[in-house]
Amino acid sequence: MNWHTFECFDCLNVPREVKERLAANGYTVLVPNPYYRTTKAPGLPINLDFKKPEDLAKIGKVRASLTDEAVMSDSTAYVKFLDAQTMVNKKAKMGVFGYCMGGPMTMQAAAANPGRIGAGASFHGGGLVTDKPESPHLKVPQMKAQFYIAIATNDDQRQPDAKTKLAEAFKAANLPEKQEVYDGCAHGWCVKDMPMGPDGKPLYNEAGAERAWGELTALYKRAAV
């Protein structure tokens, strides 16, 4: 396989099985700790309760250093590191993917490294479209990557116009993109370690996670040039 990937942590954990499955399929996988400025890996415990102010404060503390400039600078360093590895085919494009807060980080990385990153995927990503000048969707003109964006049902309900703004941005940049709302899947559905939802039901959705995996590998195969 002539691909290498780097993947971003989300605010809990990147699914271990996804990393292992990619590696088993011949990909070189780099999983950085984006919180290295404030804490050692894994950065945050998996049993956080988003309803507790003290746990939200923990998240805010480690995320404070993840400025737009910092994420883009870090991604460039990761790309250079991968290109220095002997097992990496430097003629092939790289892929990035992320969950939750890792979604916008994939777009930041693709914008910072347009010559190397050829594909990106966001799964229940948060903050892909904001009203800030550094909004990820405004970086699309800087990219040269194809994107797959998988959207949780409740995320889509909170921000239904995000799909339109993203589609318009990719169309204007003449870049292929595919967006899908996963019916019945709530934010966090790809991650087995997610806690129960407010209704007492699991957030993890195995069928939805497998569908997301299939879309990720299909994207990589399409963009592996």
pLDDT digits (tens, 9 = 90+) for 137-172: 999 999 999 999 999 999 999 999 999 999 999 999
Predicted confidence band of residue 84 (pLDDT cuts 50, 70, 90): very high
Predicted confidence band of residue 37 (pLDDT cuts 50, 70, 90): confident
CATH of the domain at 116: 3.40.50.1820
Q: Mean pLDDT across the chain, nearest whole number? A: 87
DSSP 8-state code for residue 188: T
Q: What percent of the chain has a predicted confidence (pLDDT) above 70?
A: 87
| Global pTM value | 0.89
> Which residue in 65, 59, 7, 25 sits closest to 191, CA to CA?
7
Number of domains in the chain: 1
Predicted confidence band of residue 191 (pLDDT cuts 50, 70, 90): confident
- Cβ atoms of 129 and 165 closer than 8 Å: yes
Could you report the per-residue pLDDT of 45-80, keeping only the tens digit for each? 666 666 678 877 877 787 788 899 999 999 999 999
105 is in which domain, residue-wise?
A: 4-223
Contact residues for 212 (Cβ-Cβ < 8 A; gap 6+): 123, 150, 182, 190
